[in-house]
Amino acid sequence: MIEQPMTVDRSKTKVLVTGASGYVALHCVKQLLDAGYFVRGTVRSLKNAAKVDPLRKMEGADERLELVEADLVENVKQWPNVIQGCEYVLHVASPWPIIADESTIKVAVDGTLNVLKAASKCHSPSVKKIVLTSSCAAINDGHKNSERVFDETCWTNLNEEGDHPAVDNYAKSKTLAEKSAWDYWNSLDKRGRYQLTVLNPTFITGPVLSSVEHGSATIISRMMDIRTFLAVPKVCLGFVDVRDVARAHLLAMVSSKSDGQRILVTHDRPVWFNDVNNWLSKEFTSQGFVISPIVTPNWLLKLYAKTNIDPKSSAVVHRLGGELRFSNKKSLELLEMGDYIDPQQSTIEMVYSMMEKRMVKKPPLGKLPFFNKKKTSKRAKQEAPTDKSEQNVV
């Protein structure tokens, strides 16, 4: 429950959510509407029904949801007008392609700074606070000793020299965008600036609210089909439910204890992808899904990645390693998050929600590698005619 004084009429408190049609942002909008706030959400196009309709169909949307077109890096001058009148900004919009190129870095950094700079120009009312969605990718990547417990004091190592794991463009984008945000905020006059909180969620699962593909949904849907996920890599990640991530945004928005803080948002249980595979197999094999039981040796995945047959495999290689642990102590203390949703429950509920939206379908058995040939008994083989002239022609 989001705490505010009982005298506050939340419907008169306007909150801007950037990238409102995104996976996390949809849940932020939903929870804000459920809590009684007035929400202004940005989308890149109001004509994209697949992205806009889920927002407009939310309870309370008719009375307290306003959608506006805005792009993070194009037509930058419009952003002060987009933000004007909003007391809070949840800057959730940021690219997360499975394979990120260098343009991802520019969009993340420039987009973040454009929003922060525009907010500093807004007056009457002024913006009280911005909650920026970063990632654990700005915390744990590029470190050789990955078996440490990572917390908010850690930063991803972007130094390309030395013996340490490579950092992909996505991690670079999140790290540089967050550092740019802190640098800009710290340059503002402390007497009149808005407050800033940065949230760093780990791998996000949980129910989808639209049928639009996104990073984690793409990965989980691929795992549901042996044709697209033939073997499981030895990768360990932190997991967090999307509903907890949205809840953390709303709590950080009104919590003065979180001002000027970066906060990891995660379940404290480390999760191996083989664990996820086992959860999916146990729940969905009986329903007709064929999920790979194979765990890929590290050397084989590295060799396969070099072939560039599947570019997505190269994005996994640098994450091979030991158990990855994150501390969620700060979120429990400053945001009073309480119990996080269990990763297994979150993942299963994610798949069921994707099934409802036809984002996951059962593979036809005849098209699977080991189902495309009919089994023939030894007796049938012995009785089968060897001369083609003896066979019936249909």
Active site residues: 174
Residue 292 C-beta-side C-alpha neighbours within 13 Å: 20
Kindly write down the DSSP assignment for every residue of 141-178, as one continuous string: TT-S-TTSEE-TT-------SSSS----HHHHHHHHHH
Residue among 19, 16, 17, 15 at smallest CA distance from 214? 19
| DSSP 8-state secondary structure symbol assigned to residue 99 | S
Tokens 């940021």 sit on residue: 94
Q: Which single residue is written with the structure tokens 């058995």?
A: 365
Question: Whose CA is closest to 202, among 170, 239, 172, 234?
Answer: 239
DSSP string, 180-231: HHHHHHHHS-TTTPPEEEEEEE-EEES--SSS---HHHHHHHHHT-TTT--S
Quote the distance between the C-alpha of residue 364 and its chain's center. Answer: 29
For 11-25, give the DSSP string: GGSEEEETTTTSHHH
Structure tokens at 320: 């091979």
Tokens representing 114?
A: 């454009």
Supply angle C-alpha 103, 359, 227, rounded to 5: 85
Which residues, in sequence order, are bridge partners of residue 262? 198
Radius of gyration of the chain (CA): 24
Paired tokens of 327: 């501390």
Q: Are 164 and 142 in contact (CB under 8 A)?
A: yes
Rounded to 10 degrees, the C-alpha dihedral 352/357/363/367 comes to -170
Instruction: Determine the Cα–Cα distance for residues 279 and 284; give it in Å rounded to an integer.
Output: 8
Q: How far apart, in whole angstroms, are the C-alpha atoms of residue 315 and residue 296?
A: 15
**Which whole-number Å values give the CA distances from 214 to 21, 175, 285, 298, in the listed order?**
11, 20, 24, 26
End-to-end CA distance of the chain: 69
